[in-house]
Each structure stands twice: as C-alpha cells, then as structure tokens.
Structure 1
C-alpha cells in the first residue's frame, strides 16, 4: 500500500522559508531558506551602502560579493564544457547494463513530455508577442541556453549561459541579475511538467495508476 504525506499548511510553508540555521540551509540545499537569507543579507547590504557611516564598508563588502559571483560563474562555465562527455558516459553505461529496452520503454513518456513542453513554449511565445517581444531576436539568443538546459537538465547549471544571452539582448543587469537566479530556482514550470509525467509513468509501471 502507498501512503501520501499530508501537505503542509500555508503557515507551516511560510515558516519553513525562514531557516533555523543558515549553515544548515546551505548544507541541505534548502533553496527557499537560501533565497530568504540572500534577500535579508542583500537588504542589509543595501542599507549599509546607503548609510554615510557604513558606506565604505558596504562598498567593500559589495565588491567582495561581486567578485565571488564572477568566480562562481566562471567555474560553472568551465564545468559546462565537460557536460556532453558526462551525458554520453551516463547513456552509454545505462545501455550497456540494461540494454536498449530500457530506453525504448521510455519512448511514450518522452513523447508526452515533448508535447507538453511544446505546448508550454507556444504559450510563452503568445505571451511574449502580447508584450511586443521580437521572437526572432529572442530565440536567436535563447537557443544556446535552451540547448544547454536540454543537455544538462539543470537550470542553475545553465545560468552563466543564460546571463550572457540576457546581456546580448540588452536586458538591464538590475533585472536579469535578480530574476534569472530566482527563476532558475523557483520558476521551474518545465521541471514541474516533467515530474508530473514521470510520476504518472512510474505509477503505471508498478501497477498503481493514478486517478483524479
């Protein structure tokens, strides 16, 4: 038998955003806790930079954080160069151990997933047209981040490439510097589609089909 855990209430969900231990939030990859900590830290740093007494110290701290951010992006960009090798190795190992049947059995799920993602993309295109975005220019720059995300299956890992595309599109840093890291963590609607389809597929495989 299968038991479904109870969903936490709204109050509990909001309280869980505030980490009880900042170090534990980073160690456990509690993304909501990390984002909350970053927001509080950023607001405090902004107040320091605006203060006459603490302006110099705030600027120094800001430069340190800016440098750490650039170093992190450089490291992530370097790792991305080796992603194709890793993907090839994983697929080769899976096929060699379990045979092509393992991949072929996922064909239906992959087809449904691509149809759903295609529908999602059409909705996004309609929204962008509604706001006057030129699709040719957008996809001309977005194709590299999209291909990288497809290969790596990681929004955070694709972040350096996405930031470069945003810069080439002329998006202000004040916008992409906040929205892209936040969106790579919270606005994972594509991942939500994949998880839902994978859950239905797995339930059917083990003989426990899901109903409404």
Structure 2
C-alpha cells in the first residue's frame, strides 16, 4: 500500500512539474489518436464535458467574488487603463467587421442553402439585441450567476462591493478576500486538469465530425477562418505595436497558446474566463482592473462574431445576386460590430444575429435562417476559431492597456516583450 501511495505521489509530482502547455499538447494528441483507433469509446467524451462544465460552473462565482472583493477592499483602480481596454475592445470589433467586408469583396462566396434552422428567439433588429443587453444588466443577481450573464454579474458585483466598502467591517472584508482566494484556488485546480478535458474534447470532435465539412462549404469556411487569422496575426499585433512600440508577437503568441488553445476546444468565452484571469496574473497585470475587464471582454470583445455575421450576410447577398454598395457595407460593419457586442445575450450566439444583419438588405427571415443553418453545419470549426480569437484578444488588450500605462510612466515593460532575459 505504501509503495502504491508513493508511486501515485511520484506520478502526480511529475505531472505537476511538467509544463501545462506540454501536457495539453500531449492530451490533444492522445485524444485524436484514440478517436481514430477506438471511436466507440464514447465515455471519453465525459472528460471534456466535465472540464467545460466545471469551468462554466465556477466562472460566474469567480467573477462575482473577485470584483466584489476588489471593490470592498477600497483598492479598485478602474482608471484610464480600463477606458483604454474598453476602447480597444470596441475598436477591434469594428475593424474586424470592416476587414470582413474587404475579404468578402475580394473572395465573394455563394451558398448552397440548407434546411432552415429553427430557434425560439431570433432578434429582428439591433434594437432587440440592445434591449436584451440592457435587460441583462438589471436581471436577478442569482439568475445572472446561474445563467452566466456576465453583464448582470458585473453590475451586481460592483454594487455589492461598493456597499460592502461603505458598511462592512474589517472582518467581513477579510472574509470576502479569503473567499476570493479560495475560489481562485479551485480554478487553479480545474485548470491543472485541463489536459484530460482537452483530450475528451478532441476525441469528441474527431470521432463525430471527421472531414465532411471541408467539402461543400470548404471555401466559405476557409474565408471565415482566414479572416479571423488575419485579424489575430496581423491586425491585432499592429494595434498592440502602435500602443507599446515593441514587438507584439511574444504577447500575441503567448495569449493564443495559453488562452486561445483552451478556448478553441471549449468553444465558450465564459468557460475561458478563469483561464484568462490566470494568464493575466502570470503577465503581472493589476487584478483590480483585469477582474472587471476580462469578464467584460467575454461580452463585448467579439471580433470573431463580427467577422461571422458580416461574411455570412454578404454571402447571402451574393447568393441572391445583390450588389452591396460601399455605404451599405459601412452600415453593415457598424451593425455587425454593435450586434456582436450583444451576441452573448442572445440564445445561439453570433449565428442567430445573421437575420438581423440580413434585414439590412431586405433578405427575408426564411432565407436568413437557412444561412444560419449553414452556419451550424460549419460551426464545429468556425465557432472554435471565433472563440479562440475573441478570448485571446481579451487578454491581449487587457495587457496592452496595462503595459501602455507602464510605458507612459517610465516603468520597464516585461522582459518577454523587450527581449531581455
């Protein structure tokens, strides 16, 4: 028995001493191999379900206690850095929509319309999207936590934290701080098991979907993914360079590796909030700022969603033989960017905002919902890349705003950005 216990401790130590990224890469390979060798082992899917479920379950509680604790301690520092983060989120979402117009005009796509998709709630206009967003702000706080409504969670956490700051004593404030630390520790435990979750998610994707989606909708998927990669690898680094005046790629690649990779497989910005917060801590960012900006980014930093809405809408217009003028394209970019910011408040995410954008060109709801059906067919890859772009961008711009303030005040940027060892 002692030998068994000793062996388990040795294995656990080697596991914990190995780089998390290397462990995730190994899990990814094992998941893919198992899907090819024994696709019937569906019990492996539960590993992925448990991992995503745990992240989704703990993320709302994490956001609430961290934000409330930070405000209750009287250490909130939502200064210009926070304003810069929000500006970058909104700017890049609009740029993503505009970039999609350009790539769609350079490589126009036509669709083979499938059966119309169905949904209980489909927004008919931008007003519906904004109404949902505003309603979420004042939703019941318990419902907000249970449903992962991060706009509502942020609002109630801020109010609770400010109230506790004014009326709470040192004991209650310390209890909040200890609760925040305890939830953060639980998150670290969950993230430490990510390799097993990734293995299950990869197994599910490879075993269930194969390569069929690359045939009929291959060119459309290539345009979507290509535009997202252009945004991730060219446009976002350029914006970071403008602010920091240094090589942006160490930051970009680190965020894609440590945030984008898990987001790709979980396909949930909400589930990736704990991962992003852990990465922000590694990057040395101010917890009082990123504890608010990261969950906010999961709601309004939607570059990938803006790309999806714009490209799919223009593909529908091309299929119907419509000529899209430059003013109409600009208006579509604005509508896609604003709609994408409200995507998390709409059942079905970005795909169900396509009918709203299609209405700009007078495309009927029946046709638009067929386009949504096409989106669901290619969604296995489209949604994965979209989420990776969105989630990695949350950390990239939170870090950019922080490091920009460092540069302005004469503080040295981190060594991994300056190239120093």
Distance 1:134 1:171, change over 3 A: farther
2:298 matched residue in structure 1: 184
**Conserved? CA contact 1:77–1:161, under 8 Å:** no
Asked whether 1:116 is paired with 2:236, we answer no
In 1: Cα distance, 2:296 partner to 2:195 partner: 20
For residue 104 of structure 1, what is the aligned residue in structure 2?
A: 215
Where does residue 283 of structure 2 map in the other structure?
169
Contact 1:25 1:31 in 2 (8 A): yes
Match of 1:14 among 122, 130, 134: 134
2:204 match? 89
* 3-state SS of paired residue (2:270): coil
Matched, 1:139 2:252: yes
Given candidates 212, 231, 238, the residue that maps to 1:126 is 238
2:174 & 2:312 partners in 1: Cα distance? 47
TM-fit CA distance, 1:18: 0.5
Q: 1:159 aligns with which of 262, 273, 276?
A: 273
Q: List runs of 5+ in structure 1 lacking aligned partners.
A: none
Name the CA distance, whole Å, in 1 between partners of 2:252 and 2:131. Answer: 40
Aligned residue number for residue 70 of structure 1: 185
TM-score by length of 2: 0.40
Q: CA offset at residue 39 of structure 1?
A: 2.0
Shift of 1:180: 1.9
Which segments of 5 or more consecutive residues in structure 2 lack a partner in the other structure?
1-115, 323-357, 362-421
Q: Which moved more, 1:109-118 or 1:77-86?
A: 77-86
Structure-1 residue corresponding to 2:371:
none
Provide closer, same or farther for how the CA distance between residues 14 and 146 of structure 1 changes in structure 2, counting only shifts above 3 A. Answer: closer
Kept in 1: contact 2:263–2:272 (CA 8 A) = yes
- Return the structure number with greater relative CO, CA threshold 8 A, min gap 6: 2
In 1, Cα distance between the equivalents of 2:141 and 2:306?
27
Rate the CA distance shift 1:38–1:71 in 2: closer, same or farther, 3 A: same
Alignment RMSD: 3.6
Identify which range, 174-183 or 75-84, moves more after superposition: 75-84
Give 1:40 shift. 1.6
Q: How far is 1:142 from its partner? A: 1.9
